[in-house]
Amino acid sequence: MSDIPDELKYTADHEWARVGGTDGKQTVRVGITDYAQQALGDVVYVSLPEVGTQLAQGAPFGEVESTKSVSDLYAPVAGTVAARNDALDQQPELINSDPYGAGWIVEIELAEGADLSVLIDAATYGTLAV
Amino acid sequence: MSLKRSPLYERHVDLGAKLADFGGWEMPIEYAASGGGVLKEHTAVRETVGVFDVSHLGKATVRGPGARAFVNACLSNDLGRIEPGKAQYTLCCDESGGVVDDLIAYLVSDDEVFLVPNAANTAEVVRRLTAAAPEGVAVTGEHERFGVLAVQGPRSSDVLGRLGLPTDQDYMAYADASFGGRPVRICRTGYTGEHGYELIPGWDDTVALWDAIVDAARELGGMPAALGARDTLRTEMGYPLHGQDLSLDISPLQARSGWAVGWKKDVFWGRDALTAEKAAGPARLLWGIEALDRGIPRAHMTMLAGDGAAIGEVTSGTFSPTRKVGIGLALIATDVGAGEGDEVAIDVRGRRRAVRVVKPPFVESHVR
């Protein structure tokens, strides 16, 4: 059984989004779900975008590789990469051990007019993660 | 068509295995839910011991007067080089020199040879042998008459020893033993590069043997290991996988498996084509490649020269859990003149990533 925290938003691509922010700037922290990390198996390499990269909603922005396969990461919202989780360069396994915490992937500063309504809630995601 | 299941299917489900289709068989990729996962299972085999269910592997017996001579006139390697009680890696080629399958031949006697082909190719190997068999020699497919377990790693003899099973066979030699009063054939072989054994119990005896072996392995710090780890382990050794690094389109010479061809034999399938290819020199050769940055080679990626020209193709690739670097096997055109230590590149989804050409294995072999 996979863990799907209620307080997060999700995408059909098995990513989670934590909407937050300070100083009037809205940011979204993004990672892959517990279901996704279980399906991938041991993550051995994560390719991350540079800070400042502009992302269109739904655009691929990086890759997560296991021993066997490669999966694209898709921007859940439009915006600019405000932070990347550099720890994943040396410890990609954080995505397996703590997908919602230390295994976060990027933070995106929302573009003006970015649409959050496409994100789905935990209950809806739960019907996809089976 | 529904997938076939190993006699250990229920054990895999109980261990929370992730299951997938391997040559028409529903087999475990990894046991992450019960404390394993590809990396842990891989490490267990390198450092202690791992227990694999490889019951999807084929089994066939060739029996009758002159069975040994008959098989020797079909398969590539020379059964004259070994004695009864020994096993041999060999190839089943077609007349054009392509590889129908690679397999292990157990020489029982002049009148009996036991074969272990790959799951997906067993029916074809049996079909070709049956069609060629002389009067009095019978080829019998026995895919679901036997299970196959692989016990691999530095503690593998301790595991078998705890069960009272023989362990001092030479590399590629086998012993016919019994466990719980039931017969089991035990060969010093494997596909991991570690000291190990493959055990062939009767189909219905497989569960009891698995349970005893897994218990003993766990007591020694080992664990069940699945086919995901078997693939990373064999890739670290540079062992070709049929269907990727060796196939109807990739000859034994190209895959550097010419050592498994009995060149001095008068007859074997594909002899004329292979002899001609040997004389002319193969047009491409299988090399190891090692990533020089963070790229991970994957099968079917294009190999690139310094000027960006395509020079070949990756046939297998993964992240090496032991070396912590991307590794792979790749066919490189011979006329490029690539050699050990050369820096070339792979096309990783449109990005150029540097790799070094190397000679496998990527990790020291401990099979002997």
Per-residue pLDDT band for B1 (boundaries 50, 70, 90) equals: low
- Among all residues of chain A, which has the CA nearest to that of B33? A38
Residues in contact with A4: Cβ distance below 8 Å, sequence separation at least 6, in sequence order: A10, A33, A34, A35, A122, A125, A126, A129
Among the partner residues A38, A47, A68, nearest to B228 by beta-carbon distance? A68
Q: Is residue B357 within 8 Å of B338, Cβ to Cβ?
A: yes
Q: Which residues of B touch A47 (CB under 8 A)?
A: 294
- Among all residues of chain B, which has the CA nearest to that of A2? B33
pLDDT in tens, B11-49: 999 999 999 999 999 999 999 989 999 999 999 999 999
Gyration radius (Cα) of chain B, Å: 20
Q: Which residues of A touch B294 (CB under 8 A)?
A: 45, 47
- Which tokens belong to B207? 């569960």
Q: Which residues of A touch B18 (CB under 8 A)?
A: 41
Residue whose token pair is 């790693």: B153
Q: How far is it, in rounded angstroms, from Cα B329 to Cα B345?
A: 13
Residues in contact with B119: Cβ distance below 8 Å, sequence separation at least 6, in sequence order: B22, B23, B24, B25, B56, B57, B58
Characterize the bridge pairing of strands B4-5 and B25-30: parallel
Contact (CB<8Å) B228/A41: yes
Q: Which residues of A touch B231 (CB under 8 A)?
A: 67-68
Interface probe, candidates B43, B300, B319, B347, chain A, greatest A C-beta count within 10 A: B319
Per-residue pLDDT band for B362 (boundaries 50, 70, 90) equals: very high
Mean pLDDT of B100-112: 98
CA distance B298 to chain A (A): 8
| Count of beta carbons in the 10 Å neighbourhood of residue B335 | 10
- Among all residues of chain A, which has the CA nearest to that of B38? A42
pLDDT of B294: 83
Q: Identify the three-state secondary structure at position B342.
A: coil
pLDDT in tens, B259-269: 999 999 999 99
Average pLDDT over chain B, rounded to whole? 97
Among the partner residues A41, A47, A70, nearest to B38 by beta-carbon distance? A41
Q: Which residues of A touch B298 (CB under 8 A)?
A: 70
Q: How far is it, in rounded angstroms, from Cα B336 to Cα B339?
A: 9
pLDDT in tens, B243-284: 999 999 999 999 999 999 999 999 999 999 999 999 999 999
The full DSSP string for chain A is -----TTSEE-TTSEEEEEEEETTEEEEEEEE-HHHHHHH-SEEEEE-PPTT-EE-TT-EEEEEEESS-EEEEE-SS-EEEEEE-THHHH-TTHHHH-TTTTT--EEEEEPTT---TTSB-HHHHHHH--
Contact (CB<8Å) A70/B231: no
CB pairs under 8 A between A and B: 43
All domains in chain B, ordered by first residue: 4-58+145-236 (3.30.1360.120), 60-141 (3.30.70.1400), 283-368 (2.40.30.110)
Residue whose token pair is 């250990």: B8
CA distance B121 to chain A (A): 23
| C-alpha closest to that of B33 among B226, B232, B322, B230 | B226
Q: How far is it, in rounded angstroms, from Cα A18 to Cα A5?
A: 10
Q: Is residue A33 within 8 Å of A4, Cβ to Cβ?
A: yes
pLDDT in tens, A5-63: 999 999 999 999 999 877 678 999 999 999 999 999 999 999 999 999 999 999 999 99
Output A91 or B293, whichever has higher pLDDT: A91
- Which tokens belong to A91? 């410890």
Q: Is residue A55 within 8 Å of A74, Cβ to Cβ?
A: no
Contact (CB<8Å) A41/B29: yes
Question: Helix axis angle, B38-47 relative to B227-237, nearest 10°?
Answer: 60
Q: Is B69 exposed, middle or buried (0-12, 13-18, 19+ CB in 10 A)?
A: middle
Contact (CB<8Å) B298/A70: yes
Q: How far is it, in rounded angstroms, from Cα B323 to Cα A110?
A: 40
Among the partner residues B18, B32, B319, nearest to A44 by beta-carbon distance? B319
pTM score, two decimals?
0.95
Interface probe, candidates A67, A73, A88, chain B, greatest B C-beta count within 10 A: A67
Mean pLDDT of B148-164: 98
Q: Which residues of A touch B32 (CB under 8 A)?
A: 38, 41-42
- Among all residues of chain B, which has the CA nearest to that of A1? B33
